Structure 1
């Protein structure tokens, strides 16, 4: 039982081991389809302790073994009991994980995992396949930035606990950057600073090189007057206040979240690039004002990048989190006639776009953060159903989503149609990890890659 597996990554031995030793590594390697979440990460690979939340209020506690610690070649951890919540997993599941690292040559490292557990290798294989892809892709992304002269910086991030923010902060810290989380609550440690969105403290950005502004109320929900005010008020005013402060603080780069809602809810088959005019609708109005709120930073000479994000794919949040259980039960289906264009992006490709916005000085203004291959709603439905090996034959009439979102919400969200192209990224020869929807969904959901077509040459 258990598993022994390995992979060779393109990075020197010490660089790979250092990546594992930095904050954020556990989060970056945790498969998003698994029903657990990180509570606290081990502070040291020598003797630290990581805690994960399991369903039902249970805990998984992984204790690192000092006797096995031999940097940069080896570390180990094992599941232990630490309180009542961790007793079921700690007593019922034997788990000892040995991590080994070996230099293949000056620029390549073999990463090997040996797990002693009664859990069969077949069950664990998808987890380690995911981990190896994540490690290789993250190291490659940091290597591309380093080749352009991008060294460690201090980045202040709002919305750091959200779907995108938690992934981005983990990616940055494993890459050797310092992240300052701007939060509304009292800071828990030196990595956090309290942020009043309406009136940020004058010293909030002291020592900060760049800002990534992600905070904003969720767009999902019924489009009542109250919900629409929350969407607008949580974005426009706070963005302007933060941009003004960034200008006074002399921050070099200000990266602000934005959305492809800028282009309106339905532009037919028009291919939408960053040069296109704004469209119609509530979200177009909000995004236009949201982006305009970054003007104080740009006027002061700060490089401002506005990341117009498509439909983010991750089973840990967003639309895929809602759709996955329905499709797993065979209850998924296209919306209406299914001809709506869906401009999507995998969560890790979105993280790479934010990363590039930090290191690529040639980028400023709007940048479409979407995969280069949009799909129609019917194709998305068929692809997701295929990856999950479930049928999806019953169309969903528009009145179904309207019960949750209202008629305006359906028009702006569920039935929106936007063929958005990442023109600025394409011009910069940007690398996408998963430009193809099926490959992205298989990676995110832990499914085996599709078999190769023997007729393809």
Structure 2
């Protein structure tokens, strides 16, 4: 029994094979809805191994077969037993995956997957659909950057282990860039450098072309005095110190995370652009100060981009990770009357915004990183339920989030309403991978696009 799937991607043969051979490829191709996570990536397609964490403390070990390695045409991996945790999968399941690549013409490559396994093909169709789309979209993004003059660069990233940072680091690595992870612990790999947020080492950014600053304590939680301090302290002083170091080092660009919380927790139906005034609330004050903390870099003439991020969609983290199990059980529903606006963005579209900030020299200042089609909470609820083929019949009363988050947390997080438009990205004719919510959720959850009409 076996499975064979293929797809033609618009990129030359060598470019496609090189993408697979670089660090981050496995992470970029791993469907986010599957209950597994990458522990160790293969360091070679010839004879390396990848290790995945499975539920229940089990492991999946994929060992590459040197006999099948024929660059740029083929490599193969098969399930193996390497330790007790990998024995159940390695013994119980036959799996050999041959990856083949054929040049269709100078600018197109056929990617062929042949899998020898008893697993039915239907069970893996969504996985291969996801992989082919990720591959094509990532290659297209890197081609756009190259056409605009972005060379292979060394990029320092803070918060590289988080939801956005891990996806962004994998994306950049597969594009041929060198990612330097700025970490607070003792470095464990050559790609890590120790970063003291209060007093960064003067040589921290040596050899670095650009900085992407993502680090900051999660805003999710009850807004106690300690939580508010953690949110503030993890953003303001560290950003100011890193921006000052970037100014002294002379990097090409300083790209800092920001948030649409800048616009306040409730602006009604007002369409909010980058030129809109700051709103009210604790998060609005924090974001304004956070953005101001990048001033040392801007004052030194470095191009600074502040990425005002909306509600990130990924089953690996954020609100979708929390809501998915509830909606899967049929326990989802709107919050309050459901009229509040939700300005969202798919994880890969957010990655593309950060990528664009590296290569688009015309982009500076604040940029709204949201999809061009915000939705009300009722629309979001209906779309997620339809994607999961479940009803959404259990509305959450307005006082519900306040019981968990407190009055301020509920007001600024759960029931916040911001109708934000990506004005600057639209003016730049930016390409969104999933501009509408239905297609975004379908891709992220491995489902067919659902209809929410009626």
TM over 0.5: yes
Partner of residue 348, structure 1: 348
After TM superposition, the score normalised by the length of structure 1 is 0.98
- Give the CA deviation at 1:449: 3.0
Question: Following TM superposition, where does structure 1 have runs of at least 4 consecutive aligned residues deviating by more than 6 angstroms?
Answer: none
Task: State the 1:2 CA deviation.
Answer: 3.6
2:270 counterpart residue number: 270
Q: CA RMSD in A?
A: 1.0
- 1:2-35 alpha-carbon deviations (Å, 9 max, x no partner): 4210000000000000000000000000000000
Matched, 1:233 2:233: yes
In structure 1, the partner of 2:188 is 188
Aligned match of 1:320: 320
d(CA) in 1 for partners of 2:395 and 2:63?
A: 49
- TM normalised by structure 2 equals 0.99
Alpha-carbon separation, structure 1, partners of 2:96 and 2:186: 37
Conserved? CA contact 2:155–2:211, under 8 Å: yes
Q: Within 2, Cα distance between the matches of 1:275 and 1:389? A: 40
CA distance in 2 between counterparts of 1:337 and 1:328 reads 22
The answer (yes or no) to whether the contact 2:239–2:293 under 8 Å persists in 1 is yes
Between the two proteins, the alignment pairs up a number of residues equal to 453
Identify the residue that residue 112 of structure 1 maps to in structure 2.
112
Matches within 5 A, 1:119-134: 119-134=119-134
Return the offset for 1:364.
0.3
Which residue of structure 2 lines up, in the alignment, with residue 295 of structure 1?
A: 295
Q: Following the alignment from structure 1 to structure 2, what is the Cα–Cα distance between the partners of residues 84 and 201?
A: 42
Separation in structure 1 between the aligned mates of residue 180 and residue 260 of structure 2, nearest angstrom: 27
**CA displacement at 1:450 relative to structure 2:** 4.1
Map 1:235-384 → 2, pairs under 5 A? 235-384=235-384
CA contact (8 A) 2:102 2:111 kept: yes
Tell me the CA shift for residue 452 of structure 1: 13
Match of 1:86 in 2: 86
Matching of residues 165-184 of structure 1 within 5 Å? 165-184=165-184
Match of 2:30 in 1: 30
Once the two structures are TM-superposed, the CA of residue 52 in structure 1 deviates from its matched residue by: 0.5
Find the residue that maps to 1:127 and give its secondary structure.
helix
SS state of the match for residue 5, structure 1? strand
**Matches of 1:343 and 1:433, distance apart in 2:** 16
Distance 2:20 2:287 in 1: 38
The alignment partner of 1:248 has SS state of helix
Q: Can you list the C-alpha shifts for 1:352-411, whole angstroms capped at 9, x where unaligned?
A: 000000100000000000000000000000000000000002210122211211110010
Q: Which segments of 5 or more consecutive residues in structure 1 lack a partner in the other structure?
A: none
Change (3 A) 1:199 1:151: same
Q: Distance in 1 between matches of 2:404 and 2:451?
A: 38
CA distance in 1: counterparts of 2:223 and 2:88, whole angstroms: 43
- 1:182-201: per-residue Cα shift (whole Å, max 9, x none)? 00111112100000011100
Cα distance in 2 for partners of 1:238, 1:122 equals 49
Task: Give CA deviations for 1:271-308 in whole Å, capped at 9, x if unaligned.
Answer: 00000110000000000000000000000011000000
The answer to whether the 8 A contact 2:49-2:63 is kept is: yes
Which position in structure 1 is the counterpart of 2:146?
146
| Aligned equivalents of 2:353, 2:95: Cα separation in 1 | 37
Counterparts of 2:380 and 2:341, CA distance in 1: 9
- Structure 1 position 351, deviation (Å): 0.1
- Please, which runs of 5 or more residues in structure 2 have no aligned partner? none
Does the 8 A contact of 2:383 with 2:450 survive in 1?
Answer: no
SS at match of 1:201: coil
| Structure 2: distance between partners of 1:57 and 1:281 | 43
Could you say which residue in structure 1 is the equivalent of 2:197?
197
Q: Compared with structure 1, are the counterparts of its residues 452 and 407 closer, same or farther at alpha carbon in structure 2 (3 Å cutoff)?
A: closer
Determine helix, strand or coil for the equivalent of 2:182: strand
> By how many angstroms is 1:93 displaced?
1.0
User: Match for residue 407 of structure 1?
Assistant: 407
